[in-house]
Amino acid sequence: MELDTISAIATPPGVGALAIVRLSGPEAIAIAASCCRRADRIRKAHGMSLVVTAVTEGRASSRPEMIIDQVVVAIYRSPNSYTGEDMVEVTCHGGHAVPQQVFSRLVEAGARPAEPGEFTRRAFLNGKMDLSQAEAVAELIRSGTERASRAAARRLEGGLAKAVEAIRGRLIELLVDIEARLDFVEDEIEPLPVGELENRLSSVRGEISRYMETYRQGKILQQGAVVVLAGATNAGKSTLFNTLVQRDRVLVSPIPGTTRDAVEEWVDLGGVPVKLVDTAGIRTGGGKIEREGIKKTIERIREADLVVLLVDGQKPRIPHPEIVEVLRDTKLISVWSKSDRPRKGEYPIQLPGAPIRAISARNGEGIDGLKQLIIKNIHELGDRESNEVIIAEKRQYEALREAHDALKRMVDAERRNQGLEIVALELREAVSALGRITGEEIGDEVLDRIFSKFCIGK
């Protein structure tokens, strides 16, 4: 079935020098030509061509031909375009009104407004990229730091697809070998030696595990690490929060319980997007609202990738007993706060793997060292070499996990002599799961879910 022609504004709304309006589909060039002067030059353009022209008002206008804008029309002939179809990009002046007028004119001439991600979806369907590359397009757009964009760019180049296809190819070879033994009587083909399957699958399972282990780091690079500041009331959390975000984001007061709810702010630490969370002070007593704030603090600690626990050097106490048990299951940095004042007493809690730092957010003492320690801890959550492929999509991780589990069941089936039929069944499951990463085996419902997360115009 031939697809219709779609159009969308590809640049973000707002004031800017230029904007781009895209068209893709069988009538893209004809529709663009019908809206512009120099229509013949647009229709006759070959390869990738640029035409300087003007978009004019259409049939709906009662006035003689009026110019909407002077534009540059870029024509891309199928299959040499982003989508693999005939495609046009109209570069007009920016702002709010002009791009919308150009877009409306193209729709009036016969284009349909594009759905989110529809251009990239067509690129996938037309074989211009595999599904992992299509997802990398969205990741690249969403990247908040240089490290995140580099990781997405490696996937966009096809790094993940090449790795997955290499693994999948080895499994398909093994599947062919097994199914050949199922299709022939035993005296026509030699049986597999005992342990042969397990030996051949050992390195494959190891490779799959290695890519699975990159997911946490990939998720942190794309979505950011969650770092929670916790501690008793007046321990200096809000002052440290303001210091790290480099502005007075939250109210700082000597009155206990000033922060009643979690306050969040994104910061870039060492090339990693970090969601910094300032929480309500942890103490016994207080009113109903404050107790609810403390409950939310404990929830945030459980969700955190890293917790920075502050203890006031002048009042070294942790008054809420539940916090100790929660912290045992977290990655933790312990901090003596207010180091510019005399310290009274000893640090009240010792937890394994929790280095203690002394800081003064007021005069900056120890802040740079704390930042470096936070960055180090975040990187330890699964940091990889800069040239290694890192997965960032949960869908990809789940497919790898399913493949890994199927191969484990396959090895177990061989050990228990359950027959080659069971072995082949599990191996087909693994091959199918890996195929979903690149889109070899994928349904429309999954595609709808994936591309719904894209912006319109991409």
Residues 281 and 149 in one domain: no
- Closest C-alpha to 320, from 344, 345, 294: 294
Task: Give me the pLDDT at residue 183, please.
Answer: 66
Identify the domain boundary among 114, 146, 168.
114
Give 419's pLDDT tier (boundaries 50, 70, 90).
confident
At 165-213, the pLDDT tens digits run 999 998 988 888 787 777 665 555 555 665 667 777 888 888 999 889 8
**H or E element: which one contains 240?**
helix 237-245
7, pLDDT greater than 60: yes
Residues 143 and 210 in one domain: yes
**Residue 130 belongs to some domain of the structure:** no
Q: Look at strands 112-113 and 225-231 and give their pairing.
A: unpaired
More confident residue, 312 or 252: 312
At 209-230, the pLDDT tens digits run 988 988 877 877 777 788 998 8
Long-range contacts of 66-69 (CB under 8 A, 24+ apart): 68/92, 68/98, 68/101, 68/102, 68/105, 69/93, 69/98, 69/101, 69/102
Q: How far apart are CA 160 and CA 166, in angstroms?
A: 10
Task: Give me the pLDDT at residue 187, please.
Answer: 52
Q: Determine the structural domain holding residue 258 and report its residue range.
A: 223-379
Residues 231 and 355 in one domain: yes
Residues 269 and 299 in one domain: yes
253, pLDDT greater than 70: no
309, pLDDT greater than 50: yes
Domain containing residue 105: CATH number: 3.30.1360.120
Residues 150 and 279 in one domain: no
Residues 231 and 357 in one domain: yes
Domain count within the chain: 3
403, pLDDT greater than 50: yes
At 354-370, the pLDDT tens digits run 677 888 877 788 888 88
Task: Give me the pLDDT at residue 289, please.
Answer: 63
**Percent of the chain, pLDDT > 70?**
85
Residues 80 and 206 in one domain: no
Under 8 Å between Cβ of 257 and 319: no
Residue corresponding to tokens 């709906």: 60
Task: Give me the pLDDT at residue 233, please.
Answer: 76
Task: Give me the pLDDT at residue 424, please.
Answer: 85
Task: Give me the pLDDT at residue 10, please.
Answer: 92
Residues 405 and 427 in one domain: yes
More confident residue, 322 or 273: 273
Residues 362 and 331 in one domain: yes
Domain containing residue 429: CATH number: 1.20.120.430
Cα–Cα separations (whole angstroms), residue 195 to 280, 412, 414, 455? 58, 11, 8, 50
327, pLDDT greater than 80: no
Identify the domain boundary among 379, 412, 432.
379
Task: Give me the pLDDT at residue 114, please.
Answer: 93
Task: Give me the pLDDT at residue 257, please.
Answer: 47
Task: Give me the pLDDT at residue 285, please.
Answer: 57
Task: Give me the pLDDT at residue 82, please.
Answer: 93
Q: How far apart are CA 101 and CA 7, in angstroms?
A: 13
**Residue 127 belongs to some domain of the structure:** no
Cα–Cα separations (whole angstroms), residue 116 to 10, 52, 96, 439? 11, 29, 20, 19
This prediction has a pTM of 0.70
Task: Give me the pLDDT at residue 1, please.
Answer: 43
Task: Give me the pLDDT at residue 339, please.
Answer: 79
**Percent of the chain, pLDDT > 90?**
23
Residues 287 and 400 in one domain: no
**Residue 204 belongs to some domain of the structure:** yes
- Closest C-alpha to 396, from 41, 21, 130, 118: 130
Residues 255 and 366 in one domain: yes
**Residue 128 belongs to some domain of the structure:** no
Residues 208 and 296 in one domain: no
Q: What is the mean pLDDT of the segment spanning 292-302?
A: 78
Q: Which range has the worst mean pLDDT, 103-117, 124-138, 243-257, 396-410?
A: 243-257
**Residue 121 belongs to some domain of the structure:** no
Task: Give me the pLDDT at residue 149, please.
Answer: 82
Under 8 Å between Cβ of 319 and 283: yes
Q: What is the mean pLDDT of the segment spanning 243-260?
A: 56
Mean pLDDT over all residues of the chain? 81
2, pLDDT greater than 60: no
16, pLDDT greater than 60: yes
Task: Give me the pLDDT at residue 176, please.
Answer: 84
